[in-house]
Amino acid sequence: MDSVAQVRKQSLADTKILTRAVADSFRKLAPRTMVKNPVMFVVEVGAALTTVQLVLERLSSRCQN
């Protein structure tokens, strides 16, 4: 019962948990990891292309005004 009480006392906003989660998320977004999962790789490439297109459109609209 003590281990359950200890787990419940630990907050999700704990620095140790957040640091580990952020590090793991960047590792999972690495292209070498994404190539192993083709669906997620296509999603990542699509998101990158969409972001580049958005930035280019915003920059070109500023230049015209």
pLDDT tens-digit map of 8-63: 666 767 888 889 999 998 888 888 888 888 898 899 899 999 999 999 999 888 77
Burial 11-39 (b: 16+ CB within 10 A, else e): eeeeeeeeeeeeeeeeeeeeeeebeeeee
DSSP3 helix / strand / coil % (the chain, rounded to 5): 85, 0, 15
Q: Which is more confident, 48 or 6?
A: 48
**How high is the pLDDT of residue 4?**
59
Cα 45 to chain centroid, rounded? 13
**How high is the pLDDT of residue 6?**
58
pLDDT beyond 90 at 7: no
**How high is the pLDDT of residue 39?**
92
Neighbouring CB atoms inside 10 A of 45's CB total 12
